[in-house]
């Protein structure tokens, strides 16, 4: 069981931030990453569609004999996690709970803001998770629909990114939040822009780091952590693997090798 890989999936490139974090946190673990590039973005799609895509990917990862599936997508975590845990035989971990826990322990003034896709914000998954832990917290949410396309097109460092971010972040600045959850795995790629606008007094909670830490704790507690060798990475994309590999080169610290095409069985 210890030598079995960990499965990770996202709607596209954003989950590579979590793949990076997992490689740092769990360097001995084998990883299988699936980017659903044929259906990105998830944030504007219905709950039914997101659940259908997520189940198809999870079943593929299950067929690869993974020991844990990490939903490296906030929208899928918010909308499909319950169904995944019902229908998939291996443990499934999402990003919402670790992010909420980290934000509650980080805030100094009890005001937390959440940046996310339309689907994540509409689900109210983060406020529910935060208020379950600390009922007196004040939570502000902001949908940032254009952030994912900016990342997928590698526009994170262009002037347009700052202009768009300023528009989305103005309500966050007005809310007085001192802790902001980057509630989409694409958003850590825009961290330099977001941090520049919000300033040093605002702490950004990175879903990649919090989820990698939670995965490490889970594997250690369940006795499934691999303690020998160096982990390998396999990458699949549901559409245009050549483009995926090219863009992944901008986001990953290390090269990922071949990206294999795998159409979803929907």
Mean pLDDT of 68-97: 95
Residue 144 appears among annotated catalytic residues: no
Choose, from 184, 208, 233, 235, the residue flagged as catalytic: 184
Choose, from 56, 73, 208, 237, the residue flagged as catalytic: 73
Tokens for 239, please give them: 């559409």
Percent of the chain with pLDDT strictly greater than 90: 76
Mean pLDDT of 136-145: 97
What span, in angstroms and rounded, lies between the C-alpha atoms of 157 and 164?
12
Kindly indicate whether the domain formed by 96-206 is annotated with CATH number 3.40.50.1860.
yes
CATH fold match for the domains 6-94+209-261 and 96-206: yes
Residue 73 appears among annotated catalytic residues: yes
- For residue 193, the model assigns a pLDDT of 96
- For residue 253, the model assigns a pLDDT of 60
Mean pLDDT of 147-154: 88
Given a cut of 80, whether residue 251 has pLDDT beyond it is no
What span, in angstroms and rounded, lies between the C-alpha atoms of 95 and 181?
11
Strands (E), 125-210: 138-143, 179-183, 203-206
Mean pLDDT of 27-54: 94
- For residue 241, the model assigns a pLDDT of 93
CATH number assigned to the domain covering 6-94+209-261: 3.40.50.1860
Q: What is the mean pLDDT of the chain?
A: 93
Beta bridge partners of 158: none
List the chain domain ranges: 6-94+209-261, 96-206
Q: How many residues does the chain have?
A: 266
- For residue 8, the model assigns a pLDDT of 97
């Amino acid at each position: 069981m210890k030598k079995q890989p960990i499965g990770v999936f996202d709607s596209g490139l954003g989950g590579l931030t979590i793949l990076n974090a997992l490689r740092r946190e769990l360097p001995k673990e084998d990883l299988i990453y699936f980017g659903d590039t044929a259906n990105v973005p998830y944030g504007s799609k219905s709950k039914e569609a997101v659940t259908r895509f997520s189940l198809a990917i999870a079943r593929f990862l299950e067929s690869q004999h993974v020991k844990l599936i990490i939903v490296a997508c906030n929208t899928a975590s918010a909308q499909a996690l319950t169904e995944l845990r019902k229908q998939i035989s291996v443990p499934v971990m999402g990003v919402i709970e670790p992010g909420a826990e980290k934000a509650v322990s980080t805030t100094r003034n009890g005001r937390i803001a959440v940046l996310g896709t339309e689907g994540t914000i509409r689900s109210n998954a983060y406020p529910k998770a935060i208020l379950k832990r600390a009922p007196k917290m004040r939570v502000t949410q902001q949908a940032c629909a254009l952030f994912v396309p900016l990342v997928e097109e590698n526009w994170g460092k262009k002037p347009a990114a700052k202009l768009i971010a300023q528009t989305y972040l103005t309500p966050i600045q007005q809310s007085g939040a001192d802790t902001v959850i980057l509630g989409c795995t694409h958003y850590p790629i825009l961290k330099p822009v977001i941090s520049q606008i919000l300033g040093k007094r605002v702490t950004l909670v990175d879903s990649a780091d919090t989820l990698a830490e939670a995965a490490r704790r889970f594997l250690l507690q369940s006795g499934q952590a691999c303690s020998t060798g160096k982990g390998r990475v396999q990458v699949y994309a549901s559409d245009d693997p050549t483009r995926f590999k090219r863009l992944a080169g901008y986001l990953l610290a290390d090269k990922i090798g071949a990206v294999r095409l795998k159409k979803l069985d929907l």
